[in-house]
């Protein structure tokens, strides 16, 4: 079923607009950064954690439509930022952002977005936009914010049409850290903030940063690992020089096949050497590619903090946090790759193990942030596989 492009007259007081590649214009009130941003429009069903969502590098080059209507009402703070690098380019929300009402708030959400250079658009029928994405797939679009309400719709639509989209795009190089880092951050406690990790006598994990969230490394440390984080394009020789007991493959944005052009050969070599490997999200997809599986772009993707995943070994259902638009194709897994988890929404792959290797991956985010913590055991499982040198 096709949905025709619509260009309604600009409503009085509209200071923001989302223009899809087909020319559809969705009006609202802009907030945050003043300007334009291009990306793929997706939707997220989480009811909490909008700040963590906006600072997740996996959302690079994406415009997030929040299905929960009240976004921004608890303000923003510095503790809930997941990364200092590029995240979502903007967000679309239903209700106008009200003044914050939370004891942890340090800044208003709109002011925080402006400081981060990200655009917000309120007053949008987010239910209708979400239904459109579910029907037609995630569209490319440009969002714009101008307090004077002056927009060139034809120019914005042209910009959206000419944007190449996420398929075939390597974004990990844009969001990965540039230098090696010894991770020292510990777990968060109310009123105390983030503690310091204790490295003494712990197995050493080298974490490859393809666009990581900080909470991942905090949970690796909490599970009992010493963590060294390295850039996405770190070579096998550089990784081996760090003498890891295991290697972690992080989440990240973009097409895994594109990032895999430089990442997969390194992962293959690690598997050949029987180095323990654990991958999540993009890292999970590239682990699959290294083992001979294929990945494909999804129609709408999975993004939210309420996704049920079935663990095939025992039938246990985990409620998980997800953020991905690509997936490992579970219709033709190669010999030696066993599926361990599946989505109860659509049956797509959510976990694999490489037989005869100490290597596994999951499509979802066991660190949550935001979301439930059903899957923290995976960090303990990985660290339990390691022998400290």
d(CA 279, CA 387): 19
Nearest partner of 338 among 349, 357, 348, 352, judged by Cα: 352
- Mark residue 281 as left, alpha or beta (left: phi above 0; alpha: psi -120 to 50; beta: remaining): left
Of 40, 281, 302, 324, the active-site residue reads 281
Report which secondary-structure segment, H or E, holds 309: strand 295-311
Contact 58, 280 (CB under 8 A): no
Report which secondary-structure segment, H or E, holds 283: helix 282-290
Let me know if 91 is a catalytic residue.
Answer: no
DSSP characters over 355-376? TTTTEEEESSBTT-SSS--TTT
Let me know if 365 is a catalytic residue.
Answer: yes
DSSP characters over 127-189? HHHHHHHHHH-PPEEEEEE-TT----HHHHHHHHHHS--STT---HHHHS-SS-EE--EEEEE
* Total number of residues shown for the chain: 389
Of 33, 145, 307, 365, the active-site residue reads 365
DSSP characters over 87-122? --SEEE-SSPPPPP--TT--B-HHHHHHHHT-EEEE
d(CA 227, CA 244): 9
> What is the DSSP code (8-state) at residue 59?
G
Number of H helices, E strands in the chain: 10, 19
Let me know if 367 is a catalytic residue.
Answer: yes
The residues carrying an active-site annotation are 281, 365, 367
């Amino acid at each position: 079923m096709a949905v025709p492009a619509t260009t309604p007259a600009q409503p009085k007081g509209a200071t923001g607009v989302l223009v899809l590649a087909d020319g559809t214009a969705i009006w609202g009130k802009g907030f945050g950064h003043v300007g334009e941003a291009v990306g793929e429009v997706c939707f997220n069903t989480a009811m909490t954690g909008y700040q963590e969502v906006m600072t997740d590098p996996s959302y690079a080059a994406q415009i997030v439509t929040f299905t929960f209507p009240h976004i921004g009402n608890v303000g923003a703070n510095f503790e809930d930022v997941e990364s200092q690098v590029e995240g979502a380019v903007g967000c679309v929300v239903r209700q106008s952002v009200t003044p914050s009402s939370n004891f942890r708030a340090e800044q208003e959400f709109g002011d925080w977005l402006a400081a981060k250079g990200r655009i917000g658009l309120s007053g949008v029928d987010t239910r209708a936009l979400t239904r459109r994405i579910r029907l037609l797939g995630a569209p490319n679009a440009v969002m714009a914010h101008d307090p004077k309400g002056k927009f060139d719709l034809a120019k914005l639509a042209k910009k959206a049409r000419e944007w190449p989209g996420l398929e075939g795009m390597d974004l990990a190089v844009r969001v990965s850290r540039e230098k090696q880092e010894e991770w020292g951050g510990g777990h968060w406690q109310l009123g105390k903030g983030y503690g310091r990790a204790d490295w003494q006598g712990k197995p050493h994990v080298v974490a490859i940063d393809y666009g990581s969230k900080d909470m991942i490394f905090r949970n690796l440390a909490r599970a009992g690992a010493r963590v060294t984080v390295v850039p996405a394009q770190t070579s096998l020789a550089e990784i081996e020089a760090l003498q890891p007991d295991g290697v972690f493959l992080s989440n990240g944005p973009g097409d895994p096949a594109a990032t895999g052009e430089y990442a997969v050969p390194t992962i293959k070599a690690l598997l050949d050497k029987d180095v323990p490997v654990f991958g999540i999200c993009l890292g999970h997809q590239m682990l699959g590619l290294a083992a001979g599986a294929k990945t494909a772009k999804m129609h709408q993707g999975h993004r939210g903090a309420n996704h049920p995943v079935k663990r095939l070994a025992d039938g246990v259902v985990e409620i998980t946090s997800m953020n991905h638009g690509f997936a490992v194709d579970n219709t033709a897994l190669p010999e030696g790759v066993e599926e361990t988890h599946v989505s109860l929404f659509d049956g797509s792959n959510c976990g694999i193990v490489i037989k005869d290797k100490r290597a596994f991956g999951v499509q979802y985010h066991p660190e949550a942030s935001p979301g439930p913590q059903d899957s923290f055991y995976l960090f303990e499982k990985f660290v339990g596989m390691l022998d400290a040198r």
